[in-house]
Amino acid sequence: MRNIPSRLLAAIVLAAFAGGGVISALDAQAQKPIVCWKDKAGKVVGCGDSVPLEYQDSATKELDQRGITRKTTETAEERAKRGAQEKAMAEQKAVERKRRAEQSRQDDALINTFTNEKEIDLKRDRDLQVIDSQLNQLRVSHKNAIDREKDFKGRIDAATKDKKAASEYQKEEMARAHGDIAKFEQGIIAKQKEKEEVSKRYGEMKQRYIMLKGGSSAPATAAAPAKK
């Protein structure tokens, strides 16, 4: 720890030689702040009129001659941590602003597209009818693939029964039919999930529309029954 009385004495001696007197030296010295620096554990390890080079990145506090803290600084690690926190907060605010802007855009589109709740129900039903039509096509294709697989399996079984080898064409067609069955089954599952998502989306859209309008503007219409 630096010897502050020695520093004070040196200032008095210099002032006396310069003709400034002891009182002027004391006044000048009293105006200088005292800086204390800390180690990595946050413990004060020294005080003086300037921070040693090896402690430049340490936390410090500046005191006046009465011992009152007038200024503090952070460690390099603390500054980096605070900077990262401020950056994260700024990014979060930017994301929130973007979300609100997108919500405002969607609200404007919703209000400008529909004049009442019934129109939302009608649009939902039309979209669901399109998906139902696609589902029916997939189910028909799925059934045809099953029939093809059965047909070629029967041919292969008959050839085996007659102790004849199945043709490559029969094997390939049976394998193709089997692959089609799996493909159409996946398509049916995907379309059923799409129906659920469409119904949910229009339900949320309708609730938002009611809220924006401040209340119900038309009798609600139930969604068309789902076709299995």
d(CA 227, CA 192): 9
d(CA 19, CA 15): 6
**What tens digit of pLDDT does each residue of 105-147 get?**
999 999 999 999 999 999 999 999 999 999 999 999 999 999 9
Nearest to 225 by CA among 199, 204, 201: 199
Percent of the chain with pLDDT over 90: 51
Contacts of 2 (CB under 8 A, 6+ apart): 46, 47, 48, 49
Per-residue model confidence (pLDDT) at position 61 = 65
Per-residue model confidence (pLDDT) at position 37 = 74
Give the pLDDT mean for 31-56.
72
Evaluate whether 113 touches 213 at the Cβ level (below 8 Å): no
- Name 34's bridge partners: 63
Most confident of 15-29, 36-50, 212-226: 36-50
